[in-house]
Chains A and B, each alone.
Chain A
């Protein structure tokens, strides 16, 4: 009798076929190729016994752990600030604080090179140090803490703290035995994610790590292209996948708990203006710290892009059009490549992601399984994805020289985002919304125009924007898949950084890419649902 209900429970079977087929060919088949390669000729045994392998694994763990702790230390005050205090520019600042997370890793690396590298603002060269790597990871991941913990924090019932106060608990005690336990699911989720991202970090470490520091990801790249040792790279990729799987499982477990355990209230009226002198001082201090953490690297990137030999100039930007720097493509050409690739990747990601979202939207058991399946590529690092595609796609048909390979790799990374953005939109369109519109006098055409299109359109717009953004900034997979004569923007930036004398040009391209990414995410954020996936990760 209830039509809404019937509609919501029906999972169109055809919709699941496309994403599953895509994943089998471009994800599971390459994974299998990695496994096969690592098992060949006892490679796995000799590699697992080698001290080099364990040194790399140890360093990867070490830097990821320090990065996680440091990011939490930097992110929690900021999360507290945005969830508890209302002040002018709060909305904008919160949006700005999340920008680093969507910046391409190459841009992050460049910004820190501008700040800490040779001739940088620090005064001495700190690139190639653990400090530079950690700082970049904190810069990049603070937004994760801000969004995961902050959104929970601002919805915690303040009465719980007041109840504790009434029971005689002082501020320290309240934090320790009320607030922290309540936030624990979000803290654990944020920590897992930050650990995951730092563990899989590639672009940042390739640029900032110098020769001394290599994570698993960087080592996979070196073994593949430096030593042409695919067996060694495969074993490392397996280790990488194993750690990622364990971390992701932890994350998923805590995500489930967040959804069920904590009593929340609506996010209205919790934040107050800082009314005491102490509160104002604290707001100013936290904002200042965030300004240094987030603002300084970006400022260094932008300003150094304008620093020519003779003071400030647009020289670096002018050179982008014709300078080859010994490369096969000018920066402008690689930007064009990037745009074309991003458009194709977006189309593929939507073509696979929309059917996937349609299949996942009804809340059923089978849909849940498919959902997990679709999220898997997000867990596998970009380098692993690129490496797997490279290994696998020579037979039965050789796709390795195809122009589609790079967009496909990008789409693999973008599809989970598309699904996460479109699913809530599909779920929000109930039959009763259309009927309600009809009862208010809307003709069928008006229902389409006023209800269906705005609802679906916003989600699709945001999804397309995100896919485009992912593709524009993708570095790890692209490095494995792009042909030398058609580099993308991030690839060109990385090459320019390694060429003496091309530093301002690299900074100029980094600035352009950062501007594209930042404006895209600000637009997407306004367009998408405020409680949509870009807020929940």
Chain B
């Protein structure tokens, strides 16, 4: 089990890690989500031993790794740029870790074949790295990181340099594969969809600190604060005074689902809270909308207050005026 305690690292004037602590139980896929520059990569590199933290401790099963160089930590790291060796073919890239471990030739051969089969690249052994497509390169990098069976696998933006379509297809495969291998892994990304899709547990990072930790469902359903909510793409956020279970928002008074103490809160109204209803108290004009497969996401300009996003079951017409009622269960008061 990996334990990180009070880790800090400063680059010049930037505090990349600010007393960060976390624990990764095995076997699990820990997603680490945050905007670029929030310290995710620095955290990975500190765990890997490629970066020396200014303060704090990285430990595995209770053993402090401070003096242990990267090549003796038994961790795998899949680099953002994949870092495949251009002078070795695919097979010998995958074999590298096994060769370093001094495994016998026949065993290396078998393991390389297994690793390539695992990522769906049977028979790619002799291919030159330069001839691989983006998706193939990513798979080879993954096979290479997996082959020596590291006790911890870290993936730094593994889909970051691929185009959207390919990334979305590989997301599912990657999740399935990590589950099948049953390896403890840390998956770093700045893409919320990817993080939600792949993680068993999810950490949200902001400016070198943890902003939230939980299962993807918990984080999605109950963002810890307005920053996390807006980073997840939830944009109906307004400041409002709350009294007697009613939030007095610019859109009008909204009933809350759960009682909270009176005070000022950031109120998150989820897009699905707006339910079209002729008798509803909230009126707004449809600006534009996008079709999302099983629903429409519309931008609505209300009579008062900022524009809002609403999830609609039926195709709206731009310019149309709709009336909504608001589902109290989907109106959430957040801290900050």
Interface of A toward B, CB cutoff 8 Å: 1-2, 4, 266-268, 428, 430, 432-433, 435-443, 446, 450-451, 454-455, 458, 529-531
- Is A454's CB under 8 angstroms from B48's CB? no
Chain B residues touching A, majority SS: mixed
Interface magnitude class on chain B: 35 or more
Cα A439 to Cα B50 in complex, Å, equals: 9
- Is A439's CB under 8 angstroms from B85's CB? no
Residues of B within 8 A of A455 (CB): 86-87
Residues of B within 8 A of A529 (CB): 86
Choose one: A432, A450, A454; the contact of B79 (CB below 8 Å): A432
- Is B79's CB under 8 angstroms from A1's CB? no
- Is B77's CB under 8 angstroms from A436's CB? yes
Residues of A within 8 A of B130 (CB): 530-531
Residues of A within 8 A of B71 (CB): 438-443, 446
- Indicate whether A441 sits within 8 Å of B85 (C-beta atoms), given known contacts A1-B14, A435-B50: no
Cα A2 to Cα B45 in complex, Å, equals: 11
Measured CB to CB, the nearest residue on chain A to B39 is A1
- Chain A CB within 8 A of B296 CB: no
- Tell me the residues in window 140-187 of chain B with beta carbons closer than 8 Å to chain A beta carbons: 144-145, 148
Cα A439 to Cα B82 in complex, Å, equals: 12
Measured CB to CB, the closest approach of chain B to A458, in angstroms, equals: 7
Q: List 13 A-B contacts (CB under 8 A).
A: A1-B14, A4-B81, A428-B86, A432-B79, A435-B77, A435-B83, A437-B96, A439-B76, A440-B76, A440-B148, A441-B74, A446-B100, A530-B130
- Is A1's CB under 8 angstroms from B41's CB? yes
- Chain A CB within 8 A of B16 CB: yes
- Chain A CB within 8 A of B323 CB: no
Cα A1 to Cα B81 in complex, Å, equals: 15
Over the window 1-39 of chain B, the binary record of Cβ atoms lying under 8 Å from chain A Cβ atoms (1 yes, 0 no) is: 000000000010010100000000000000000000100
- Indicate whether A439 sits within 8 Å of B37 (C-beta atoms), given known contacts A1-B42, A432-B83, A531-B130: no
- Is B131's CB under 8 angstroms from A268's CB? yes
Measured CB to CB, the closest approach of chain A to B2, in angstroms, equals: 15
Measured CB to CB, the nearest residue on chain B to A450 is B96
Measured CB to CB, the closest approach of chain B to A4, in angstroms, equals: 7
- Interface centre among A435, A451, A454, by most chain B C-beta atoms within 10 angstroms, is A435
Cα A530 to Cα B144 in complex, Å, equals: 23
Measured CB to CB, the closest approach of chain B to A244, in angstroms, equals: 33
Beyond A1-B37, A443-B71, A455-B86, list 19 extra A-B contacts (CB 8 Å). A1-B41, A2-B41, A267-B131, A430-B81, A436-B79, A439-B71, A439-B76, A440-B71, A440-B144, A440-B148, A441-B101, A442-B100, A446-B71, A450-B96, A451-B85, A454-B87, A458-B87, A529-B86, A530-B128
Cα A12 to Cα B235 in complex, Å, equals: 48
Cα A1 to Cα B43 in complex, Å, equals: 12
Measured CB to CB, the nearest residue on chain A to B12 is A1
Measured CB to CB, the nearest residue on chain B to A458 is B87
Cα A454 to Cα B77 in complex, Å, equals: 22
Residues of A within 8 A of B84 (CB): 436
- Is A440's CB under 8 angstroms from B83's CB? no
- Chain A CB within 8 A of B107 CB: no
- Is A266's CB under 8 angstroms from B133's CB? yes
- Is A441's CB under 8 angstroms from B131's CB? no
Measured CB to CB, the closest approach of chain A to B11, in angstroms, equals: 6
Measured CB to CB, the nearest residue on chain B to A267 is B131
Residues of B within 8 A of A430 (CB): 81, 83
Measured CB to CB, the closest approach of chain B to A456, in angstroms, equals: 10
- Is B131's CB under 8 angstroms from A439's CB? no
